Amino acid sequence: MTTALLKDQHLLFIGDSITDCGRRDKVNAPLGCGYVNTFSNLQTLREPAKTIRITNSGIGGNTAEDLYQRWQDDALLFHPDWLAVKIGINDCNRYLSNPEEHHKQCPADFRKYLQGSLKRSVEALPDLQLLLITPFYLSRDSAEDTYRGKCKTLVGEYQAIVKELAEEFNTRLLDTQALFDAFLEHHPPAKLSQDMVHLNELGALILAEGVYTALKG
């Protein structure tokens, strides 16, 4: 299997800390030490003759509103051929923890901001290829009275919105929750993350492999 990326094309990743993963630190610049860097290595290993330019525009702590506010400078001005967007877990966590203070991170506003960013993208770059990556939460807690149980339930609303927007804009889609849940049938969440969100090397490898598969030709 190979990706649909063509030689010399530009793939840009944008999102929150899971995408950022230290890419602004001197040690890990410019791709970070997470799934973006792992994907770059996988793609180079499997398709050595296909030179791809990869940009990481992730910023830790970002929400869909944050992406919308910086979309022109951090996404569109790069004129990428491919754009991978992964956002939503900060929206979910903040809205769950304090709905009044973080009302702009509610599911409805999450949809509005992400939809707005995608609309700007297709209008500015008609030939752009998009990959939407759903947020995930690695807990297996399904209780109604625990924070992790509530977060696992609520994140499903944000995941559903990403899937609906993928259909609306006819984009590629990576369902990360399904990807990780298949792994969690055999292993505890701690095998991938200490906080249910930020991935270790194995988690980054699983996500990078998922991205590679989602971009198949």
Q: Supply the residues annotated as catalytic.
A: 17, 195, 198
CA distances (Å), origin 134, targets 91, 144, 158, 191: 12, 23, 8, 20
- Characterize 54-83 residue by residue with b for buried, 16 or more Cβ atoms within 10 angstroms of its Cβ, and e for exposed: bbbbbbbebbbbbbbeebeebbbebebbbb
- CA gap 62, 106 in Å, rounded: 14
The continuous run of DSSP H or E covering 118 comes out as helix 107-124
Please give the structure tokens belonging to residue 51: 């030179």
Q: Is 112 helix (H, G, I), strand (E, B) or coil?
A: helix
Q: Which residues pair with 110 in a beta bridge?
A: none
Could you give the dihedral angle defined by the CA atoms of residues 22, 25, 30 and 31, in that order, rounded to the nearest 10 degrees? -10
